[in-house]
Structure 1
Amino acid sequence: MDNRNSILTDTLPDQAIFALDIGTRSIIGMVGMPDGERIHIVAIEKAEHTKRAMIDGQIEDIDQVAKIAGQVKERLEKKLGCRLHKVCVAAAGRALRTESVTFEMELSRAQKIDAEAVSRLEAGAISEAEKIFMSREGKDSDRQFYLVGYTVSRYYLDNYMISNLVDHHGRVLKADIIATFLPTEVVESLYSAMHKINLEVASLTLEPIAAINAAIPQNIRLLNLAMVDIGAGTSDIAVCRDGSVTGYTMAILAGDEITESIMKEYLVDFDTAEKIKSEIDEMEELHFTDILGFEQTITRESIFESIKEASFRLCEEISAKIIEINGGMPSAVFLAGGGSRLAGLKEGIVEHLKIDPKRVAIAGNNFKINAYSEEYDLENPEYATPLGIVISAGFNIVNDSYRITLNDRPAKIFRNGSFTVMDVLMMNGYNYQDMIGRSGQNLVVSVNGKRTIFYGEKAEPSVLKLNGEEAQLSDPVNAEDWIVFIPAKHGKSAAAKLSDVTPLGPDKRVVVNGQLVKEDVVLKSGDKIEIEELVKESDPVEEQEVLFAAEREEESGVAVRQEHGHPPVSGIRLAPAEMSSMNIISGALKEEIKKEQKVRGEITVILNDTPLVLPPKPNNQPYYLMDMLEYSGLDFKNLTRQVMLEVNGENGYFQQELHNRDNIRIYQV
C-alpha cells in the first residue's frame, strides 16, 4: 500500500511533520512521515513572493508573507487530502547573535546521571549565556532579544569528553553550548504570520541548524566541515567537528547582491534581473526590455563581467565568516540553497579560501541519508532548509531554550533573562484582559445635570496555578515547571431603561436628549435626561431613598451608583447645602442604612490611600485583589518595573479575597 494513501484523511497523523521554509524570495512547504530511520517526504510545494515582503531573512510585511504561506498550505492540503494544523519553522534574520559558554555542575556524590540532571546542567549553561549576552548587548541597545534556542557542542563527565551523559556514573558534569538570540520582532512576526493562516507553531529551529542537519548528517560530523546555505537575502553558515556543531552565523550578503547589480547595470526591474540571473547558465544570449521600454540583447560574458564585483564581495564575505566561526580553514565546504547554483560562486569560494576545488561541493548528495521520496528529487540544494526543518522535528533534535508545560501542553518559550508567569502567558497568546478580566462597559447618563452610572458586570476571576499551587503573575518560572491557567470571564455590559432611572407616570414630565418621552425607552451612554415633577406629594419611601443617597454622599463623596437587580435610588449628587439640611437623619436611621448597604453587598476599600466603593457582584461573588488592578492607575501594557501587591501592610496574592475596609496598595518598585 502506498504510504501517501495512509495520510489521506481529514487530519495528518500526529507523527507527520509539516515544515515551512520562509525565505526572502520564496516559501517552500514540505510534508514528511517518519519511516524507521529516515523521513519519507510525501509532498512539496513552493510559491514566490509577489512583492518584497522579506528583507535579509526578516519579515517586513506580515500580511503578504501570510498570504503566500497560505497558498503553499492550501496546495499541500489539496495534494494530501487533509487539513494542516501545526507547522515547524526556522528563524533567521540579519540580527542573529550567538554566545558560546562552558558551564560546570558538581553533584554531591558520584551517581547515575539521569535526564533531569542533564536538564539542570543545560539550564545553568543557558542562564550563564544570557547573563553574558545581556550584560554586553543590553547596555547599548534599545532592542529586546529572545533566547530562541541552543546547541550543545560537547558534554564532559569528570573532565572526559562524552557524547551522551544519560545513564553514565559520575560527579562533575560540564557542557559547552552555543546559545542563539534574535530580536523579539523577528520571532513575533514569524508567529503572527502563522497565526493569520490558522497554523500553530509546533517547533522552532534556526535556519543554519536546520540546513546542516540536512546537508551534514551526524555520521560525518567527526570531520571539520562547513555548510553555507545561500538564500536570496542571507547566507547561513554552520560548522562542525568531533561529532558536534561547533558554531553558526550569518552573512547578510546573498543572492540579492547579484540581482541588484544586474538591475543597476541594465536598468531593469527586480523580477527581470532575477530572470536574467537564473538564465545565465542556460543561454548564450539573453533578451529583455529595460525600464525605459528599450529591448536589449546581451551575452553571457557581458553579464558575468557586470556581476563580477558583487560576486567577489559575496564570496569574500562568506569565506571570511567561515574562517571566523571555524577558527581556521575547514576540511571541506558544502554549498546549499538556491544561491549555491549562481554561476562562478563555487569557484569564487575556492579562490578566497585557497582550498582544493574538490573540497567544495554543492550539497544534496547526503540528503538521502536521513530522507527519501518516491516523487521528488531531494538532491536539489534549495531543499536544504525545509528538509532540515523536517529532519530536526522528525528526529526530535530541536533544542528549545526551555521546557515548561502550560495547560498540559508544551509552552512556547523564548527567554530574555529571568521571566515570570505573566511572561509565559503573554508568549503563548494570552493578554492582560485574560488575566484580570474585563468588566462590562458602564452605562453613564445625565439626570437633571447630575452623572448617574449603571455598572457593567465584573469579570469572573481567572484561575492560575504554578506546580499545583495558587500563583501570582509575578512569580518566577523555572525549567520543568507546569502552569494551569483558566482565563477570566469578561463581564456583561450594563443595560438600562428609562424606568430604571425614574418611574414613569402622569405626575412627571420626562425629556431625553431634548425629546419629550412618555414611554419606556432603552438608554444609551451619554443620554441627557430631564425630569420635572408635576405633582409633588409626600412619599415616605421616596424620603427614605433621599436620606439613603445623602448618607452615601456623606460617607464616600461619590455619586450614587445604580446596579442591576437592586431598587434604584435617586442617582443625584447632593450639593453641600442640601447635605447640611439632612441633619434630621437620626442615628437609628443611619444604622438602618448601613445594614441595607451590607445586605446590598457593597464594600469599601482603601486603594492607594483613596476610598473606593465597590458595588455588589452578581450572586454576591467576593472581590479579589486582581479586581483592583484596573483601578490602580498603572498602565500594564507599558510596565517598566516590578509591580507590588499589598493588603493591610502584607504581601498580597493574585486571587486573595477582599473584605470591607481592607487597605490595599498596588505600585511599581
Structure 2
Amino acid sequence: MMKEQEAGTVFALDIGTRSIIGMLGRVEQGRLYVTAIEKEEHGRRAMLDGQIVEIEQVAAVAGEVIRRLEEKSGTKLRRVCVAAAGRALRSQSASFTLKFDELRRADADLIGQLEAGAVTEAERLIAGDSAGQGRFYMVGYTARQYTVDGYPMTNLMDHRGQVFEADVVSTFLPSGVVESLYAVTNRLGLEVSSLTLEPIAALNAAIPAGIRLLNLVLVDIGAGTSDIAVCREGSVVGYTMATVAGDEITELLMRSLLVDFKTGERLKLSLGSMEPAQYPDILGIKHEISPANLSEVIQPAAQKLAKEIAEKILELNGGAPSAVFLAGGGSKLQGLPALVAGELDMSEARVALAGNHFTNSAFSDEYQLEDPEYATPLGIGASAALGMINDSYMVTLNGYPAKLFRNGALSLRDVLLMNGFHYGDMMGRTGANLSFTLNGQREFLHGLPGVESQISINGREAQFSTVVRAGDRIEFTPARSGQAAVMTLGELLGQDYPGEVTVNGRPQPMDYSIRQGDEVQAQGAPVPPRQQRRVRAPEQAKPLPKPEPPRPVFTSKPEPIMEPAAKTETKQEPAKEKAAEPKPKPKPGPIAEQKVKPQPEQKAEQEAKTEPKRQAEPKPKEPPEEPLQLSFGGLPVVLNGAPLRLEPKEQGGDYYLMDLLERSGMDFSKLDRPVDLLVNGAEGQFSQVLRPNDQVTIRYKDRQTT
C-alpha cells in the first residue's frame, strides 16, 4: 500500500513540447536531494510551441510519468510543482508622471505610485495591441529609469523635485498558457503547490544568485520555443522569447530527407555521433547519411535559430552580455554555442551549455544532474523546495486563489497588479469637473470625491505596502470614482427664471443639462447669486462588491523577477475605519494629477431662503470662484475669504487641508504654476487637520485667481 506524500517531498513536473519530465526530491543540507527522475515523450504532437493543444493526450503522458514515480517511491503523489511556458511572453514599456506644486521628497509611497501607474499604462497598451487575443497576466516588471525634473536617476529614493517620472518594463503572459496547464493537473487529480515560469525556473538552476551581479543571459531552448532571461546587478531584469527552437531542426530534416516527424527527431538526436545514420523515408526506402552530410542539412535551421536568439538577446539586453548559458534539450544541438557566439560577436568561450552550477542547488546519488535538459525540472523543484516554509503556498484574493509569479517579498500592490487590478482601483478619482460660462463669467462646479478602496489581510486592515505571506487571506474592494459634476439650467437660474436663456446661441429648456464649455446667456431678469442656487448632488458612489479573480488558480511562492527600486504602497490609503479606531492622517498627494484622497460625499446645499437660520446671517462676500456647493452645520472655516461650513463626515472623521482643494474654485488638472496653501497665514500641509474658524487660502503664488 502506498504512503501519502509527505510535506517535505517535492514533486516537480516539467510539461514540455516534446516530452514530460517528472522529478522527486527533498531538502537536505540546504539543497534539493533528487531521488527519482522519469521522462516520457509525447506519442504525437500534443503540444505546439509550449502551448498544450490536446489536454487529454498530455494528461495521459503525464499520468504515465507519475505512475512510474509512484512505483519507485512507494508514494501517492498529491501535490505538484509546475511551470508555465514562456510562450508568447510580451514585454511592454510604459512611463508614468506625477507633478507637484512644490518641492517633494521621493519616498517609498511616491515611488510606489509611479511604478503602479506605469504598470497600469503598460497593461492598457498590451490590451490595445492584443485585442481579441484573450487575457494577459502581468508576471513582473522592472523600473528601468526614473527622472526628477527631467534629470535621469537610477535610484529615486530621497531625491527632491516637482516632476517625477518612472519608466517601467512589464512582462505579460497569455492566460491560455496557465489555464491549459491547470486543466492537465486537474485531470490528474493533482493540487498545484507551486507555480512559476519556465525561464525563471531554468535560470534559478543555471545561474546562482551569487553571480547575477554580472550581465548574464539564460536561454532555455525547448522543442517549440526558446525562452530568454537576462540578469544583471543582482536581479533579473527582463524576459523574452524566440519563436524558433528544436522543432525547426526536425522540420527541416523532414522536408530535406522526406521523413516523418518521429524519424526526423531521431536523426536530430544522432547529431554528434561518429557513425552514419540509417533511416527510412515516407516511401519506405532505406537511406544512410554521414554525420558531415547530416550537419550540412541542418545548417540553415541551426543558423536561423542562433540568429533569432541573438537578436532577442540584443533587443532585451541592449548589447552583448558578459556570458550566455544555453539550457534545455535543444541546447545540445552540435555547434549551436559557436553559432550563437558568432551572431553576438562574442568569444566562443563566453557561450556555454548550462549545467556546471546545477549542483549549487541540487544533488543526487543516482542521477547525473549536469544535463542541460534538466535545467527546467531542477529549477522548478529547487525554486519550490528551497523557499518552502510549509507545504502550502496558497494566497487567496477575495476568496479565490491568486496568481503569483515572483519570489521574495511581495507587497499587496504587487498581488493586485498581477491579478488584473489597476492603479485606479487602488486610488479613487474625483468625478469630472464642469466648467462653463454664465453671461461671460466663468463658472466651475467640482465633481464628487470617489470612494476609498478597502483592503485587509486575514481580517485586519492593511496598506498597499504590506508584505504578503503564505496562506494569507486578502480582501480587496476597489476604489470607485466619484460622480461627475452635473447641473441643469433650472438648478443654475431657478426653474421659474422669467428671462430669456440661450446656450451657445440657442434657446434651451430649464431641464437642459449643462455641458463642458457651454456658453450660457441669461437676459431679461437678474441672475440669482451663487449662494441661492440649488445644486443637485449626484448620487454618491457606493463601494463596489468584491470582484472575483477571473479563474481560481492555486498560487506559488513568488519567483525572483525584475526588482524595482521600491515595492511599497501606492499611498497611505487604509480600508474603511471602524468607529472606535482613529483615522490615520493621509499623505499629501500630487495636486496636478488630482491624486487627492477621496472623502465621503458632501451633501447638496439647500437654497438659502429656505433656511431661517441662514437668513439671519449676514450675506457673505462672494469670492470670484466660490464653489457652487454649500453646506450647513459641521466645521466652520473661511476659504479664500468666504465663510464655509463643512458637512460632518461619516463616523466623525477629521477634515484636512487637502479636502478643500476640491472646493477652492481652481481646476487642479490644468495647473500651470505653483499654488499657495495657507492656514491662518502660515504655510499649510496637505495632511494638516482643520480646526473651527481656520482661515484657509488656496491660490496661485502670483495671487491671481483662475
Instruction: Indicate the TM-score class for this superposition, using the shorter chain for normalisation.
Output: 0.5 to 0.7
Q: Distance in 2 between matches of 1:342 and 1:468?
A: 50
Residue correspondences, number: 420
Q: Distance in 2 between matches of 1:298 and 1:408?
A: 61
Q: Distance in 2 between matches of 1:262 and 1:81?
A: 42
Letter of the 2:64 partner, please give it: Q
Offset of 1:409 from its aligned partner? 8.5
Offset of 1:129 from its aligned partner? 1.6
Alignment match, 1:363: 354
> What TM-score do you get using the length of structure 2 for normalisation?
0.52
Q: Which has the higher helix share?
A: 1
- Contact kept? 1:126, 1:179, Cα under 8 Å: no
Q: Distance in 2 between matches of 1:337 and 1:20?
A: 15
Alignment match, 1:50: 43
Partner residue of 2:184 out of 193, 208, 224: 193
Alignment match, 1:63: 56
Letter of the 1:352 partner, please give it: E
Offset of 1:125 from its aligned partner? 3.5
SS for the counterpart of 2:277 is strand
Offset of 1:16 from its aligned partner? 3.0
Q: Distance in 2 between matches of 1:127 and 1:17?
A: 38
Alignment match, 2:335: 344
Alignment match, 2:678: none
Letter of the 2:300 partner, please give it: E
Partner residue of 2:419 out of 415, 421, 425: 415
Offset of 1:89 from its aligned partner? 1.4
Alignment match, 1:314: 305
SS for the counterpart of 1:19 is strand
Partner residue of 1:138 out of 128, 137, 140: 128
Q: Does 1:230 align with 2:234?
A: no
Q: Deviations over 1:239-283 (max 9, x none)?
A: 111111111111010011111111111111001011111112124
Alignment match, 2:256: 265
- Bigger radius of gyration: 1
Alignment match, 2:596: none
Q: Deviations over 1:373-425 (max 9, x none)?
A: 11111100001111111222223399xxx99526989544662345999xxxx
Offset of 1:355 from its aligned partner? 0.9
Offset of 1:151 from its aligned partner? 5.4
Offset of 1:467 from its aligned partner? 5.5
SS for the counterpart of 1:65 is helix
Q: Distance in 1 between matches of 2:458 and 2:211?
A: 48
Letter of the 1:150 partner, please give it: G
Q: Which runs of structure 2 are paired with 1:127-526 in the superposition (5 Å)? A: 128-138=118-128, 141-150=131-140, 179-396=170-387, 404-405=395-396, 411-412=402-403, 415-418=419-422, 482=473
Gaps of 5+ in 1: 1-7, 422-464, 471-477, 486-625, 627-635, 638-669
- Contact kept? 2:144, 2:169, Cα under 8 Å: no
Offset of 1:237 from its aligned partner? 0.9
Alignment match, 1:24: 17
Q: Deviations over 1:553-575 (max 9, x none)?
A: xxxxxxxxxxxxxxxxxxxxxxx
> In structure 2, do the counterparts of structure 1 residues 140 and 41 end up closer, same or farther at CA, with 3 Å as the change threshold?
closer
> In structure 2, do the counterparts of structure 1 residues 221 and 194 end up closer, same or farther at CA, with 3 Å as the change threshold?
same
> In structure 2, do the counterparts of structure 1 residues 331 and 257 end up closer, same or farther at CA, with 3 Å as the change threshold?
same
- Contact kept? 2:89, 2:239, Cα under 8 Å: no
Offset of 1:332 from its aligned partner? 1.0
> In structure 2, do the counterparts of structure 1 residues 155 and 265 end up closer, same or farther at CA, with 3 Å as the change threshold?
closer
SS for the counterpart of 1:227 is strand
SS for the counterpart of 1:307 is helix
Q: Deviations over 1:316-343 (max 9, x none)?
A: 1111111111100111111111111111
- Contact kept? 1:123, 1:479, Cα under 8 Å: no
Structure 1 range deviating more: 73-82 or 364-373: 73-82
SS for the counterpart of 2:4 is coil
- Contact kept? 2:86, 2:199, Cα under 8 Å: no
Q: Distance in 1 between matches of 2:144 and 2:9?
A: 30
> In structure 2, do the counterparts of structure 1 residues 36 and 66 end up closer, same or farther at CA, with 3 Å as the change threshold?
same
Q: Distance in 1 between matches of 2:297 and 2:224?
A: 20
Q: Deviations over 1:566-624 (max 9, x none)?
A: xxxxxxxxxxxxxxxxxxxxxxxxxxxxxxxxxxxxxxxxxxxxxxxxxxxxxxxxxxx
Q: Percent identity?
A: 48
Letter of the 1:12 partner, please give it: Q
Q: Distance in 1 between matches of 2:68 and 2:134?
A: 36
Pairwise CA RMSD of aligned residues?
4.4
Partner residue of 2:31 out of 38, 50, 60: 38
Offset of 1:59 from its aligned partner? 0.9
Q: Distance in 2 between matches of 1:175 and 1:378?
A: 42
Q: Distance in 2 between matches of 1:216 and 1:468?
A: 35
Gaps of 5+ in 2: 405-417, 426-453, 460-465, 477-544, 552-706
Offset of 1:139 from its aligned partner? 5.3
Q: Distance in 2 between matches of 1:160 and 1:140?
A: 32
SS for the counterpart of 1:334 is strand
Q: Which runs of structure 2 are paired with 1:594-609 in the superposition (5 Å)? A: none
SS for the counterpart of 2:292 is helix
Offset of 1:307 from its aligned partner? 1.1
> In structure 2, do the counterparts of structure 1 residues 333 and 64 end up closer, same or farther at CA, with 3 Å as the change threshold?
same
Q: Distance in 1 between matches of 2:194 and 2:319?
A: 33
- Contact kept? 2:226, 2:243, Cα under 8 Å: yes
Alignment match, 2:672: none
> In structure 2, do the counterparts of structure 1 residues 51 and 101 end up closer, same or farther at CA, with 3 Å as the change threshold?
same
Q: Distance in 1 between matches of 2:361 and 2:260?
A: 40
> In structure 2, do the counterparts of structure 1 residues 211 and 123 end up closer, same or farther at CA, with 3 Å as the change threshold?
farther
SS for the counterpart of 1:292 is coil
SS for the counterpart of 2:241 is strand
> In structure 2, do the counterparts of structure 1 residues 9 and 63 end up closer, same or farther at CA, with 3 Å as the change threshold?
closer
> What TM-score do you get using the length of structure 1 for normalisation?
0.55
Letter of the 1:268 partner, please give it: V
Question: Deviating runs (4+, > 4 A) in structure 1?
Answer: 100-106, 120-124, 151-156, 158-162, 169-178, 406-410, 417-421, 465-470, 478-481
- Contact kept? 1:96, 1:181, Cα under 8 Å: yes
Q: Deviations over 1:172-226 (max 9, x none)?
A: 9999865332222221111111100011222221111111111111000111111
Q: Distance in 2 between matches of 1:55 and 1:47?
A: 17
Offset of 1:155 from its aligned partner? 11
Letter of the 2:133 partner, please give it: R
SS for the counterpart of 1:90 is strand
Offset of 1:132 from its aligned partner? 1.8
SS for the counterpart of 2:223 is coil
SS for the counterpart of 1:179 is strand
Alignment match, 2:612: none
Q: Distance in 2 between matches of 1:192 and 1:406?
A: 21
